[in-house]
A and B are shown apart, each in its own frame.
Chain A
Amino acid sequence: MATASVATHDTAHDHHDHEHHDNFVTKYIFTTDHKMIGKQFLLTGIFWAIIGGLLSILFRLQLGFPEMNLEWLRPLLGGWITETGQLDQTFYLALVTMHGTIMVFFVLTAGLSGTFSNFLIPLQIGARDMASGFMNMLSYWFFFVSSVIMFISLFIKTGPAGGGWVVYPPLSALEQAIPGSGLGMTLWLIAMTFFIASSLLGGINYITTVINLRTKGMSFSRLPLTIWAFFLTAVIGLLSFPVLFAAALLLVFDRSFGTSFYLSDIYIGGEALPNTGGSPVLYQHLFWFLGHPEVYIVLLPALGITSEVIATNSRKPIFGYKAMIISMLGITILSFIVWAHHMFVSGMNPFLGSIFMFLTLIIAIPSAVKVFNYLTTLWRGNLIFTPAMLFSIGLVSFFISGGLTGIFLGNSAIDIQLHDTYFVVAHFHLVMGSASFFGMVAGIYHWFPKMFGRMMDARLGYVHFWLTFVGVYMVFFPMHYIGIAGFPRRYYSWTGFEFSNMYTDLNMFVSVAAIITFAAQFIFLFNFFYSMYRGRKATQNPWRSNTLEWTTPIHPGHGNWPGEIPTVYRWPYDYSKPGAKEDFIPQTVPLSATPESNLPHEQELVKLELEIMKEESEALIANEAKES
């Protein structure tokens, strides 16, 4: 990525004890350095976030101002603006579909997990790079190919896929049903295939790296919660994405090779199709077997980032480190057995509905534990409101607001009325969309100094936060009302029904809020790109944090640490330890060096630690003797 080049350029000459010189292509394009790959994911993710946001503004214009003449958009949208200056109805559905696909997969999966898993795993566990740099490179480039194909599909004549981001057949299988199910859907499926390949390559790498490449002393019980989150996210992805692939593959067969996995008894376009015996509900089961874990693929990394940022900026250990890990493990396992709560009224056996209602509400418990632990971490802290901290607190707020409405939707009796209404839209945009987005932004603000060696401007960050935080609530909170009133999702207009022929004012308000919130993101974009070149130079450990990435040079080269990889002697959350001089003790400080602040059980460990250190230094001397 050429844009990232200047910031890291000068440093390549400083730390290259064992490095050979990279040329432009191997350094910025086909790079195997996890840090550069992380930045590649980040920039591609930001690109997609702008596109995804823009699409939502387009359809919000229609929903908020249905009378508005959109003739001025003709240069951009061409034939999708009707002769009367309205947005084409089919294109509206395509916009909704692509907004969902882009945000869920390209921004919040690849942009979030891809960026921070890549960037942080080796840095925080003390590894020189990922287990397989080459696979990691492939992971990005598969994602890139996927992105290109998906992007092209936006511009084809029949329009991109338009059956909702869940692409339920038969709608997505039959070109006669909606034009987007022609070439647009084919491209969607090809793009998603590459995307799944990318996710799997990345996921295998993350898991392998965390298991095998932890530095000395970095036991699982000393891993930062970010790494736990990335690790479990990768496990979820590895187990669920193949199922999406299976679902997509069967859909390809139905579309192109005349099979009937999902199709049965269909009369469309004046003819009866030969397909019999298939079941559209089968697709829903397969899709949501990925689709629900996907929610946690999106959310867990954000929660991991938040844990780290809140602990650092509260100057306090994260409360209940073990409970946090157990909660995440619980969420990981439960995420695989709740999928059918998306299908309470799909026509599946109501008995299954009962089972999935019980399982679904169990998953609320670990989520609740996490919230209480965040609150207790803030309690009696010494809080520093960096932009990252603000966004993390915002995340917790969204996680509560959106999580609580999940209790309504997980209850199948209540879900009868709320299913596929704006209540659902409000729910998942808060708990998964906005919360994860805030986690991602918090991560960018927090690790920007490590990525580019410069600081982002804090004041612009504050403005960005408050506009976005208020904006997001103004956009999504009103949707609860129109959801309770029964307004269905994916409607081009609600004026055709008596029950929904109201709240035009509220919809207008939501659209205005959406436009302002979207505009506020350009403050962030400016801050991001400006600071990359002109931001204040960062110090080595600007947030006075404990984790390993802050022990690398300000501009780490490929290999991360110029000399030996540091050894880890303690957990990452020794903030404000009683007796310690500073309010933080990095993980690399041995317990034997801090007798004044050690807890009783740690005093025991000091002896063990000293023995190990002694053995090591002997081994080192022996080695040196051999070499000379």
Chain B
Amino acid sequence: MYGFLIAVGVVLLLSIVWMVYRIQTLVSVVKGSDKKVATGSNKVNAFLFLVFLVAIGGLMFWYSIKEFHNYQLPIGSEHGVVTDRLFWVTMAVTGIVFIITHILLFVFPYKYQYKEDRKATFYPENNKLEVIWTAVPAVVLAILVITGWMAWSDITAPAPEKAHVVEIMGYQFAWDIRYPGQDNVLGDHDYRLTSAINPMGIDFTDQNSVDDFPSPVVVIPKGEPVLFKIRARDVLHSVFAPHMRLKMDAVPGMPTRFWFVPTKTTAEMRAELNDPEFVYEIACTEICGRGHNSMRRVIEVVEPEEYQKWLTEQKTFLQMNPALAEGIEVEVKEVAEIQ
């Protein structure tokens, strides 16, 4: 019944709109306004551009200022401070251009709307102007690019030798974490060794893998360089740690990396934001299938001492699952058992 009433309502509404439309068409024909170059609507449209400028422009600025603390995520890494500064410098430069060009774009229509007694200015070219507005953006952009390039070179430079290595492997639909253990060297892996008990395809015949251990959480020390070694097992994924301003694709068959220095422990950040629930997170930003939006891992930044302590408390892959050692040469097995 409701459906029927709604349908009747819609039909009535449409027919009213239709009638209004027909009437105004006929009126305009009678008035002969369809023969004119510009009708009264011209004034209305010109005025609406001004309204748009003030109303929508005002709305944008009001919301941008009001919501700043919400969309501006806290920064948890050294390079994040740099890239965020670049971001806001660029915002200032483009913001000025945005405002000026839009004022011109919407004020001109109002100011130069059609008047029968006026003639437009024949002004086809001015080379000096063209040169100016080619050169000025070129210089401004050059400055932005060069600062960006310097930051990019630093961020993508090889990681310091002493960086703490963490391996992150993406698969549908989660991340697996592996630490290299005391030797800070990850053991080899081969995707053909992957199985239910060895999801990361670690090659346990490699001496380096003996002390490797997994972790459900990415634990890293504050103030020391951390190197994420990133890979994927099935399709593309992308490691995204928004607070760290960190993003790098995980590519099957091609290991990638990203190093950074965390600057605040999780506890410090909680205190600073007055949010006891705060956690650093990793998400996936490369479409990878059905569970793309559920690839979550938590990063826990701790004090270096605490980190060292945590390292010693972890159980290696082999300790957790001795079955992995099956078929491995005796010496390796012994080493594993000793540990």
For the complex, give the distance between the alpha carbons of A489 and B293 in Å: 9
If A354-B149, A492-B292 touch, whether A408 touches B122 (CB-CB below 8 Å) is: no
B281 to chain A, nearest CB (A): 5
Query: Among A384, A482, A583, which residue has its beta carbon within 8 angstroms of that of B42?
Result: A384
Among the stretches A19-27, A117-125, A396-404, the one at the interface with B is A396-404
List residues of A (130-180) whose CB comes within 8 Å of B's CBs: 162-164, 168, 170-171, 174, 177-178
* Bound Cα distance A496, B49 (Å): 41
Residue interface bits A368-385, CB-to-B below 8 A is 1, else 0: 110111011011111111
- Candidates A267, A314, A458; contact of B194 at CB < 8 Å: A267
| CA distance in complex: A347, B229 (Å) | 11
Taking a contact as CB atoms under 8 Å apart, the answer to whether B234 and A267 are in contact is yes
Q: Is A215 an interface residue (CB 8 A)?
A: no
Interface residues on A, range: 35 or more
Using an 8 Å CB-CB cutoff, how does the interface string of A23-34 with B read, 1 for contact, 0 for none?
000000000000
Residues of chain A within 8 A (CB-CB) of B278 are: 498
Judged by a CB distance under 8 angstroms, whether B274 is at the interface is: no
Chain A contacts for B194, CB-based, 8 A: 267, 272
B153 proximal to A (CB < 8 A):
yes
User: Provided the pairs A177-B235, A400-B102 are in contact, do residues A347 and B254 lie with their beta carbons within 8 angstroms?
Assistant: yes
Q: Does B335 contact A (CB under 8 A)?
A: no
Question: Smallest CB–CB gap between A342 and chain B, Å?
Answer: 12
- Stretch from B176-184, B244-252, B307-315 contacting the other chain: B244-252
* In contact, B289 and A178 (Cβ under 8 angstroms): yes
Q: How far is A488 from B289 in the complex, measured between Cα atoms in Å?
A: 14
Q: Are B287 and A490 in touch, CB under 8 angstroms?
A: yes
- Determine the distance from Cα of A475 to Cα of B163 in the docked complex, in whole angstroms: 44
On chain B, the residues within 8 Å of A553 by CB distance are: none
Interchain CA distance A429-B240 in the complex, whole Å: 23
Residue-by-residue, is A476-499 near B (CB-CB < 8 Å gives 1, otherwise 0)?
A: 011001101110111111101111
Complex Cα spacing A376 to B83, Å: 35
Question: Separation in Å of the B62 CB from the closest CB of chain A?
Answer: 12
A171, A478, A482 — most chain B CB neighbours (10 Å): A171
CB neighbours of A578 from chain B (8 A): 122
Nearest chain A CB to B171's CB is how many angstroms away? 8
Q: Does A588 sit within 8 A of B, measured CB to CB? A: no
Point out the residue from B112, B137, B236 that lies within 8 Å of A378, measured CB to CB: B112
Contact A265 B152 (CB under 8 A): no
* B254, A280: Cβ atoms closer than 8 Å: yes
**A382 near B119 (CB under 8 angstroms)?**
yes
Q: Could you mark each residue 253-296 of chain B with 1 if its beta carbon is under 8 Å from any beta carbon of chain A, else 0? A: 11010000000000000000000011101011111111111101
The one of B73, B141, B279 that contacts A365, using a Cβ cutoff of 8 Å = B141
- Whether A408 contacts B234 by the Cβ 8 Å rule is no
Which of chain B's residues have a CB closer than 8 A to the CB of A375? 101, 104-105, 108
Contact indicator per residue, chain B 177-215, by CB within 8 Å of chain A (1) or not (0) = 000000000000001101000000100000000000000
Bound together, the chains give a CA A536 to CA B33 distance in angstroms of 13
Check if B328 is an interface residue, CB within 8 A of chain A: no
A256 contacts the other chain (CB 8 A):
no
In the complex, which residues of chain A have a beta carbon less than 8 angstroms from the beta carbon of B155?
Answer: 413, 416
Whether the pair B46, A385 counts as a contact (CB closer than 8 A) is yes
* Any B CB within 8 A of the CB of A266: yes
CA A302 to CA B27, docked complex, whole Å: 34
Give which listed residue, A266, A460, A484, A502, contacts B252 with CB less than 8 A. Answer: A266
Q: For the complex, is A421 an interface residue (Cβ under 8 Å from B)?
A: yes
| Selected interface stretch from A230-238, A315-323, A604-612 | A315-323
Stretch at the interface among A45-53, A104-112, A285-293, A462-470: A462-470
Q: Interface digits, B74-112 against A, CB 8 Å rule (1 contact, 0 not)?
A: 000000101110110011011001100110111011001
- Which chain B residues in 4-47 approach chain A with CB under 8 Å? 21, 24-25, 29, 34, 37-39, 41-42, 44-46
Residues of A within 8 A of B137 (CB): 364-365, 368-369
For B246, the closest partner residue in chain A by CB is A416
Q: Is there an interface contact between A411 and B144, defined as CB atoms closer than 8 Å?
A: yes
Q: Return chain A residues, CB-CB under 8 Å to B138.
A: 365
Whether, in the assembled complex, A576 has its beta carbon less than 8 Å from a beta carbon of chain B, the answer is: yes
Least CB distance from B124 to A in Å reads 4
Instruction: Give every chain B residue within 8 A of A350 (Cβ-Cβ).
Output: 152-153, 156
> In chain A, what residue has the closest Cβ to B101?
A400
Answer yes or no: A276 CB below 8 A from chain B CBs: yes
Determine if B323 is an interface residue (Cβ-Cβ < 8 Å).
no
Q: How far is the CA of A178 from the CA of B236 in the complex (A)?
A: 13
- What residues on B are CB-neighbors of A358 within 8 Å? 145, 149
- Given known contacts A265-B252, A319-B125, A379-B112, is B296 in contact with A496 (CB within 8 Å)? yes
CB proximity to A under 8 Å, residues B118-143? 118-126, 129-130, 133-134, 137-138, 141-142
A473 within 8 A of B: yes
* Residues on B with beta carbons closer than 8 Å to the beta carbon of A317: 122-124
Is A204 in the interface zone, CB < 8 Å from B? no
A321: which B residues are within 8 A, CB to CB? 124-125
Check A300 for interface membership: any CB of B closer than 8 A. Answer: no
CA distance A102 to B97 in the complex (A): 33
* Contact status of A412 and B148, CB under 8 A, knowing A382-B118, A419-B285, A497-B283: yes
A414 to B234, CA, bound (A): 28
Min C-beta distance of A413 to chain B, whole Å: 4
Query: Which B225-242 residues have C-beta < 8 A from chain A?
Result: 233-236, 238, 240, 242
Q: Measured between alpha carbons, how far is A470 from B288 in the docked complex, in Å? A: 34
For A401, the chain B residues whose CB sits under 8 A away are 98
Are A496 and B234 within 8 A (Cβ)?
no
* Residues of the A chain whose Cβ atoms lie less than 8 Å from the Cβ of B238: 345, 420
- Cβ A376 vs Cβ B98 within 8 A: no
Is A279's beta carbon under 8 Å from chain B?
A: yes
Residues of A contacting B42 in the complex (Cβ-Cβ under 8 angstroms) = 383-385
How far, in whole Å, are A372 and B24 apart by their CA atoms in the complex? 38
25 contacts between A and B (CB under 8 A): A93-B292, A168-B236, A168-B287, A263-B252, A264-B252, A264-B253, A266-B235, A278-B253, A281-B254, A320-B124, A357-B149, A381-B120, A397-B102, A411-B145, A413-B86, A417-B83, A419-B247, A485-B72, A488-B283, A490-B287, A491-B292, A496-B294, A496-B296, A503-B70, A576-B119
Residues of chain B having any CB pair with chain A under 8 Å: 21, 24-25, 29, 34, 37-39, 41-42, 44-46, 48-49, 52, 56, 60, 63-64, 67, 70-73, 80, 82-84, 86-87, 90-91, 93-94, 97-98, 101-102, 104-106, 108-109, 112-115, 118-126, 129-130, 133-134, 137-138, 141-142, 144-145, 148-149, 151-153, 155-156, 171-172, 191-192, 194, 201, 233-236, 238, 240, 242-243, 245-249, 251-254, 256, 277-279, 281, 283-294, 296
Closest 9 CB pairs of A and B: A264-B253, A350-B156, A486-B242, A347-B256, A411-B148, A413-B151, A385-B45, A576-B120, A404-B94
Given contacts A265-B252, A267-B201, 12 further A-B contacts (CB under 8 A): A90-B290, A162-B289, A315-B119, A319-B126, A362-B141, A411-B144, A417-B245, A419-B247, A457-B21, A478-B63, A481-B71, A499-B281
